[in-house]
Amino acid sequence: MHEFSITESMLSMALEKANEAKASKVIRINLVVGELSGVVGECVKFYFGFLSKDTIARGAELAFEIKPTQVRCHKCGNVFTPSDHNWACPECHEASIEIVSGRECYMESIEVE
Amino acid sequence: MTVKVITVGEDILGANEEKARANKSRLDSRGVLTINIMSSPGAGKTSLILSTIKHMKEKVKIAVIEGDVASSMDADKINEMGIPVVQINTAGGCHLDANMVESALNGLPLEDTDLLFIENVGNLICPNAFVLGEDKRVMISSLPEGDDKPYKYPAMFADSDVVLLNKIDLQPHLDFNVDGFKKTVAGLNPDVIIFSVSCKTGVGMEAWFAWLESAVKGKKNR
């Protein structure tokens, strides 16, 4: 359900940027979304269709770049993708890590006419 | 017509973050320690708030914002204890956001409050992505949920200042590896403070109360 509020914020951001550029139509919105962000692209597309229908973003394509989860080992600095049940470093087996990628949720750019 | 690319590079939730900063400065100026309580449904958020009120209400002026998808059951229980409470019904929404909290703050006596609990909607997926203006994030994980939750919802654990491992009294009945759980959580979040508690029996609660009282004092003396 949080996709609804995310889509609302995303649409208003896109319209604001398009407006600033005096654009007449938004063609495409490029989004970067991490695996850990909990954002489901299909849901965003569904809500976007509904929310954008009376705006210049109607029919715009939503492009999602999905960032995989990556963590950095606190001990040896190794950056790796954790497996489902093992977040320990495959190099040094240290279990203390920090999430460096996978939580993204931002708008990279918009394409307008 | 030519297509023009406009670089944006902005967080989608930037508007929420801005509103959260405004909430925070409003609460800071009154010295109100604000705690965002997050957990899955049924982990014990309301029980934690109720037992904390019972223990601390003579010493600390408490107010509560209750977030629920529907109903006012939790707010009614808090109201019965004579504590100012505002209920937010999200009507299907799975988290609280800074905008909802801003409106709720208008209904609370902030000038006369030392400690504000914001009980988030029971959910481990997204509440951590929406800052509200809180000082501290307290997450409750309970034994019946299983010890694998840090692997399944790592961002929730990584974003919390305190993790309360609730229903610890059930340990003899469950296959929950408490030491393994603590180690995983500390691995995701080296600064986290973990308390093993039972809101029902009161086991371990003294340590939580002591932490909270010192945080309330710290905020007043800022």
Question: What ipTM was reported for this prediction?
Answer: 0.89
pTM value? 0.92
Test A10 with B94 for CB contact under 8 angstroms. no
The C-alpha of A103 sits at a distance from chain B's nearest C-alpha, in angstroms, of 8
Share of chain A above pLDDT 70, in %: 99
Test A113 with B92 for CB contact under 8 angstroms. no
CA distances from B30 to A68, B80, B98, B136, B181 (A): 41, 25, 18, 16, 37
The C-alpha of A27 sits at a distance from chain B's nearest C-alpha, in angstroms, of 8
Read off the pLDDT of each residue in A62-86 and give the average, rounded to a whole number.
93
**DSSP bridge pairs for B35:** B117, B136
B-chain residues within 8 Å CB-CB of A97? 187-188
Which among B5, B126, B151 has CB closest to A84? Answer: B151
Closest CA to B63 of B37, B84, B42: B84
Total domains in the fold of chain A:
1
pLDDT confidence bin for A1, thresholds 50/70/90: low
In contact, B138 and B160? CB cutoff 8 Å: yes
For chain A, the C-alpha Rg in angstroms (whole number) is 18
**Nearest Cα residue in chain B from A95:** B187
Read off the pLDDT of each residue in B31-59 and give the average, rounded to a whole number.
97
CB contact, 8 Å: A95 with chain B?
yes
Q: Answer yes or no: is pLDDT of B5 > 80.
A: yes
Domain ranges of chain B: 14-220
Test B93 with A2 for CB contact under 8 angstroms. yes
CATH number at residue A52: 3.30.2320.80
Q: Residue B169, SS3?
A: helix
Q: Answer yes or no: is pLDDT of A85 > 80.
A: no
User: Hunting for tokens 């997926």 — which residue is that?
Assistant: B125
Q: Answer yes or no: is pLDDT of B212 > 70.
A: yes
Q: Residue ranges of the alpha helices (H) in chain A?
A: 2-20, 41-51
CATH 3.40.50.300 fits B14-220, yes or no: yes
B-chain residues within 8 Å CB-CB of A96? 186-187, 190
Q: Answer yes or no: is pLDDT of B10 > 80.
A: yes
The C-alpha of B189 sits at a distance from chain A's nearest C-alpha, in angstroms, of 7
Residue ranges making up the domain that contains A39 = 2-112
